[in-house]
Chain A
């Protein structure tokens, strides 16, 4: 378990809807387009961790903006669930309605 947590601290979105995963000995950070990287270190169960193995199915539902609902599935690792929490994200605009035809 400690090995995984040491080597893989983040999984993140890179571009629309895709996840890039890195494993190996160097810092395994993965870029996420947005203001936040999403630290999922506390999601991971690492009993079967192998440094060279990639998750064979990683997907994310991007609600919008700076947070994601992300799960990683691997035949080797099993399915990992998000931490128990709640997120709110204020959107970029405020709107109103006006008169017109």
Chain B
């Protein structure tokens, strides 16, 4: 088959349902490259979708010959029923490439299995290891380090000198603004003790026209190119796993001064 489907960093996905109403939208960015000599039209779908899911097929449109693009697959789901604060569901994603805009002339397809780890970050089954609300007006341990330490491929200057700020927040009265000192990246070290699993939930608000990169330990989970296509001017929730019995540095990199706020950074474990 001339179509391939792989994953970046991790085959699994993590999704915090805390406070969300049904149906939930699971936005999954996918990078696609068309190395053919002609345009291809791509479709992504969940193969044999469980009944809880809707919008399980999406036509992503054309990608020109030799071009690459990021697309977002956004199926919706009923709220999962959690057991001990979590629920794992394995799906088979399928990417199809067609030679025509009517999606009738199949060029090829490929499939990829992924497990989505749903959880509720405020469920009592989890221990709240750290929760940064910034509502006391402090930085709660967030600092800045020199350089583009999340995604060095960022082409513009990055800025950070974080401080509590009341412009944007989830929990009043403060969020954490990224600041205006150039060539700096925000970070915080999170230490997880003797647990079996841990999660981190990051909420950010980014001004339109700018981009963000997020690195968790040595994993660049949101490269700047992905941060560029994610929503702006609203609060975005991203979740991921953290290693246990370890200290992990989480880095948030933004390419302009005073354009990004963080709030409700939650680290949970069980």
Closest CB-CB distance, A9 to chain B, in whole Å?
A: 18
A26 within 8 A of B: no
Instruction: Tell me which residues across on chain A come within 8 A of B234, comparing CB atoms.
Output: 97, 100
Known: A65-B31, A69-B33, A100-B235. A90 touches B112 (CB 8 A): yes
Which of B8, B15, B205, B231 is in CB contact (< 8 Å) with A92? B8
Taken together as a complex, chains A and B put the C-alpha atoms of A69 and B34 apart, in Å, by 9
A17 touches B8 (CB 8 A): no
Contact of A87 among B33, B44, B205, B220 (CB under 8 A): B33
Q: Are B28 and A97 in contact (CB under 8 A)?
A: no
Cβ of B209 under 8 Å from chain A: no
Task: Check B105 for interface membership: any CB of A closer than 8 A.
Answer: no
Per-residue CB contact flags for chain A residues 76-100 toward chain B (1 = under 8 Å, else 0) read 0000001111111111111111111
Interface string of A30-64 (1 = CB under 8 A from B): 00000110000000000000000000000001111
Instruction: Determine which of A61, A64, A67, A94 lies in contact with B27 in the assembled complex, contact meaning CB atoms within 8 Å.
Output: A94
- Say whether A64 contacts B15, CB under 8 Å: no
B129 within 8 A of A: no
Choose one: B14, B33, B97, B226; the contact of A67 (CB below 8 Å). Answer: B33
Q: How far is the CA of A89 from the CA of B226 in the complex (A)?
A: 12
Nearest to B201 among chain A residues (CB) is A98
| Contact between chains at B6 and A86 (CB < 8 Å) | no
> Does A16 interact with chain B (Cβ within 8 Å)?
yes
Per-residue contact bits, chain B 1-18, to A (CB 8 Å; 1 contact, 0 not): 011111111110111000
**A17, B153: Cβ atoms closer than 8 Å:** yes
Interface size on B, residues (CB 8 A): 71
B32 at the interface (CB under 8 A from A): yes
Number of A positions contacting B (CB below 8 A)? 32
Known A86-B4, A86-B40, A98-B20: A92·B32 in contact at CB below 8 Å:
no
Which residue among A61, A99, A100 has the maximum number of chain B CB atoms within 10 Å of its CB?
Answer: A100
A98-B7 contact, Cβ under 8 Å, with A69-B68, A91-B28: no
Could you tell me if B10 and A92 are in contact, using CB atoms closer than 8 angstroms? yes
The reply to whether A96 and B24 form a contact with Cβ atoms under 8 Å apart is: yes
Contacting residues, chain B, for A35 (C-beta < 8 A)? 6-7
Besides A66-B8, A92-B222, 8 new A-B residue pairs in contact (Cβ under 8 A), listed by A number:
A64-B226, A66-B6, A86-B32, A86-B107, A91-B28, A94-B116, A98-B236, A99-B19
Binding site for A on B (CB under 8 A): 2-11, 13-15, 19-20, 24-37, 40, 42, 44, 63, 66, 68, 70, 93, 95, 97, 107-108, 110, 112, 114, 116, 152-153, 168-170, 172, 203, 205, 214, 219-223, 225-226, 230-231, 234-240, 263
Q: Residues on A close to B: CB < 8 A? A: 16-17, 35-36, 61-67, 69, 82-101
8 A-B pairs whose Cβ atoms sit less than 8 Å apart in the complex: A86-B34, A86-B107, A89-B7, A92-B10, A93-B221, A93-B238, A96-B27, A98-B236
